[in-house]
Chain A
Amino acid sequence: MNPPTIKPMYYVGVAVAVVLAALLPWFAPNQFYIHLATLGCMNLMLVLGLAIIARAGQLSMGHGGFALVGGYVSALLSMRGWSPLLSLFIAGLVAAAIAAALGWIILRLRGVYFVLVAFAFSQIAVLLALDMSFVTGGANGLVGVPPISIFGHVLLTKPQFYPFALVCALTTLLLTWLLYRSPLGTMMAATAENQRLTESSGIDTHRVQVIAFTIGSGIAGFAGALSTHYLRFISPDSYTFWESVSYLTMLVVGGRDGVLGPVVGVLVLTPLPELLRATEGLQHIIYGAMLVLCLMFVPNGLASLVQTWRSRQRVAGTGAAIVAEEVT
């Protein structure tokens, strides 16, 4: 059996999707759509970060906390004269470093304990942002965060910022895809499926999970910083528990396997609240009903519909091959 070969059709599909996303500013009826697409890019990065952690078998309920840390780090550094382009990466590294230290200790905890400690971390991050008002501005947050500038080209307006956000999101997507195909990604999937067996196959599963947590949280830090420079503002309310829940919802609705799941989840759930706004008052009920229906009928996420279809074709193919083999 050869490694899963990618048919040219998929490359064409990906290329078309990327071109469409890049051309959005030209055919969007108004700036609101560009704003929504920019939010989608940042959500995609956050959900991909969460997906990487989930790939290794852990659920991070504190994802928003790392985005918050990243946002504040980048805001504070850039307000003190650092280049925002540099501070974005520092924000990612700081979030990753915190995750590595925290992960080393708490990833020895299994299941629900890890979920609780990650949740507690995000709450502590919010409380620190509120209480350390001499640095963070307290409940008012930080206003007037400098915009990102690339070689003197300042990204002030929505159509200017969107391409940068798209490049960041697509790069994250590509790197995640490469990660999933690498030995490390395979070790993550193995750890999630049967940790004891993976350990007995000579893999340090604790280390694999710490690395996944570090990478995923680092991405969250970067995305949080990106969002802060886009909105030019950050406050303790920017990333609360509800943001962590919404990333998790996107991941579950889209699908946890592969990189397609997060893309689908973000594409469906980022614009949904806006589309439902017309229904007045009913929007939360419809949103909730859709989630319940998804969990009931597509428990592996919307992206799994594609995979089911593909594996049906595969089984039909191998079945035919075996029959042919037995006949001859």
Chain B
Amino acid sequence: MSMLEIESLKRSFGGLVAVRNVTFNVNEGDFLGLIGPNGAGKTTLFNVISGVLRPSAGTVRFLGRDISGKPANQTVRQGLSRTFQAATIYPEASVIENAARGTLASSLTGLWGGFLSSKWRVAAEEKAFHVLDLFGLTRRAALKARELSYGEQRRLGVAIALASDPKLLMLDEPVAGLNPEEAAELASVLRRVKSERGVTMVMVEHHMRTVMGLCNRVVVLDHGTLIAEGTPAEVVSNPLVIEAYLGKEAVHA
């Protein structure tokens, strides 16, 4: 079943077309990799899908509902959550508070509940602890988020996104800036999250080893256009993809 359907999506900034008529689907249970050279429009596409930017044309459908141009906070409540490349935590709050804030939108009290009882906080922190446990951050719970190492902060960023109980989790370069051990660790956490929670995932990533190891399907963007789609093995042997990454001569050589 198609969870996310992207149809003829376009986004331009003034005269610059960053995303041009992109169409693809994300199926339930997918771990889709979104790759492409620098400036290919991956992050723009991400921002349009998650509601941070409005599309110039085209539609985004999530679980059969049109979400194009809807603000990010609404798409999250429907089950589409995302992470950012940088500054994805609350640095001055404790680690447990960081994860607990991720659960707020899905907690039942709403905006005006929880004034006189602290049940909501117990529930939120319980949920937050489950997420921290998945990411191996339980023992850091009482520290301030800014006191964590860079690798731990990146994991916490994904943990916050997962705390909102998404059906589809979109990760923007989750392993960027991590050393090989940290990258491998985060990859194994993501694999575990996927199998334990059944979350469908989409990932923008430059780190090819991570993409090849995690994704069952890969979509390749170049200059805002979708140039290839398929399994990781199919995509890396696609001449168009090799050309996009290495230039024309490499293909002929």
A residues near B, CB below 8 A? 1-3, 178-179, 181-184, 186-187, 189-190, 193-194, 196-205, 207-208, 211, 314, 318, 322
Contact = CB atoms under 8 A, between A and B. Distances in A.
B82 A194 contact: no
B107 interface: yes
Question: Lowest 9 CB-CB distances: which A-B pairs, in order?
Answer: A202-B105, A202-B76, A193-B90, A190-B101, A202-B77, A183-B114, A3-B121, A204-B73, A182-B114
Nearest to B81: A200
B125 A1 contact: yes
B125 A184 contact: no
B148 interface: no
Contact of B115 (A3, A178, A190, A203): A178
Given A204-B73, A205-B73, A193 B84 contact: no
A318 B93 contact: no
A129 to B, nearest CB: 34
Contacts of A186: 100-101, 104
B115 A1 contact: no
Contact of B71 (A189, A197, A204, A211): A204
B141 interface: yes
B149 interface: no
A193 B92 contact: yes
B111 A193 contact: no
Interface string B60-100: 00000000000111101100011110011111110010001
B142 A1 contact: yes
Contact of B122 (A3, A202, A322): A3
A318 B144 CA distance: 13
B142 A314 contact: yes
Given A182-B115, A201-B101, A202-B106, A190 B90 contact: yes
Given A182-B114, A322-B139, A193 B91 contact: yes
B120 interface: yes
A100 to B, nearest CB: 14
Interface of B: 50, 52, 71-74, 76-77, 81-84, 87-93, 96, 100-102, 104-107, 109-116, 118, 120-122, 125, 129, 139, 141-142, 160-161, 163-164
A193 B145 CA distance: 12
Given A190-B93, A318-B142, 12 more contacts: A183-B111, A184-B111, A186-B100, A189-B93, A190-B104, A197-B87, A200-B50, A200-B72, A200-B73, A200-B161, A201-B160, A203-B105
B88 A197 contact: yes
B125 A183 contact: no
A1 B133 CA distance: 13
A178 B82 CA distance: 31
A178 B77 CA distance: 26
A178 B116 contact: yes
A197 B90 contact: yes
A211 B90 contact: no
B158 to A, nearest CB: 12
B120 to A, nearest CB: 6
A60 B73 CA distance: 25
A201 B71 CA distance: 12
A190 B210 CA distance: 31
Contacts of B76: 200-202
Contacts of B139: 322
Nearest to B102: A201
B125 A3 contact: yes
A199 B118 contact: no
B105 to A, nearest CB: 3
Given A193-B91, A199-B73, A205-B73, A183 B107 contact: yes
Contact of A1 (B91, B96, B113, B161): B96
A314 B142 CA distance: 9
Nearest to A208: B111
Given A193-B91, A314-B142, A187 B104 contact: yes
A314 B143 CA distance: 10
A202 B104 contact: yes
A3 B124 CA distance: 10
Contacts of A181: 118, 121
Contacts of A2: 122, 125
Contacts of B71: 199, 204
Given A184-B112, A322-B139, A193 B93 contact: yes
A200 B73 CA distance: 6
Contacts of B106: 202
Given A197-B84, A200-B72, A183 B104 contact: yes
Contact of B84 (A179, A189, A200, A207): A200
Contacts of A196: 52, 84
A184 B122 CA distance: 15
Contacts of B122: 2-3
A186 B124 CA distance: 11
Contacts of B93: 189-190, 193
